Amino acid sequence: MQHKPKRVRAIALPGGEFREKATEYLDFLAAWVAKPRQTASVVPSSRYLARLMVRDIDPADGRVMELGGGTGVFTRAILQTGLPLDKLEVVEINAAFARGLRRHFPGVSILEVPAQIVSTQAAGEPGSYQTIISGLPLLAMDRSVHVDILSEAFRMLAHGGSFIQFTYSLRPPVHREVLDALGLEVSRVGQTVRNFPPATVFRFVRRVDPMGC
């Protein structure tokens, strides 16, 4: 008895999106191998984490700055809120990541400058930014760097503005002594397990003066 050959179904491989994601992972892995303390993770953040990070951005409420743009996961989510291209600036000191960001997001200003002195190159005036989205690996930095970064960030933020930071810990990545010294409060925005590793998002704001001064 002769058996008919089995039909083999063709499997369609993803196209451009798959290649783009693969490139992101390879770029991120290469950056981690080169400078693990600067990159902090071997994979880019997930879109679920990105949604948590950007959920309070109002596209009509002024400028936004992103610290540590990486492969652009948060950058993409920020722009999906409807924020105009010319209202976003992304800070990225890794030259390879910066080149990739310029390629993928033409029209967005990419600043290759340390977060501690970002005001020297920012297009907006101090006090004109509604939100700063941070992908910086704060857990890998010491307290003095936290002071410098947050001081500069709140110099750029408008009154009532927020500094949004994610971490792989359940606790805020900035010590209470630093927050007290800078007059800041921190609250938990949310957590996602649909990220590797699972991540928690925190919001830092200026403390409200009970005297209203």
* Residue 166's CATH number: 3.40.50.150
Q: Is residue 161 part of a domain?
A: yes
Say how far apart CA 167 and CA 123 lie, in whole Å.
Answer: 28
pLDDT above 80 for 102: yes
Q: Is residue 142 part of a domain?
A: yes
Phi, psi of 24, deg, nearest 5: -60, -45
| Tally of domains within the chain | 1
Q: Is residue 152 part of a domain?
A: yes
Domain around 87 = 45-206
Of 13-22, 55-64, 109-118, 201-210, the one with minimum mean pLDDT is: 13-22
pTM (predicted TM-score) = 0.81
Residues 84, 71, 101: CA angle, nearest 5 degrees: 50
Which residues make beta-bridge pairs with 192? 199
- The Cα-based distances of 22 to 8, 68, 71 in angstroms read 27, 20, 11
At residue 129 the predicted structure's pLDDT band, cuts being 50, 70 and 90, is very high
Q: Is residue 29 part of a domain?
A: no
Tokens of 70: 């990486």
pLDDT above 80 for 150: yes
Contact in structure between 162 and 206 (CB atoms under 8 Å): no
Q: Is residue 37 part of a domain?
A: no
In the chain, which ranges are continuous DSSP H helix? 16-34, 36-39, 47-54, 73-80, 95-104, 143-156, 176-182
pLDDT above 50 for 9: no
pLDDT score at 208: 87
Contact in structure between 126 and 158 (CB atoms under 8 Å): no
Q: Is residue 213 part of a domain?
A: no
Say how far apart CA 55 and CA 77 lie, in whole Å.
Answer: 9
Q: Is residue 132 part of a domain?
A: yes
Contact in structure between 133 and 54 (CB atoms under 8 Å): yes
Element containing residue 163 per DSSP (H, E): strand 157-167
Q: Is residue 40 part of a domain?
A: no
Of 57-66, 85-94, 101-110, 192-201, the one with minimum mean pLDDT is: 192-201
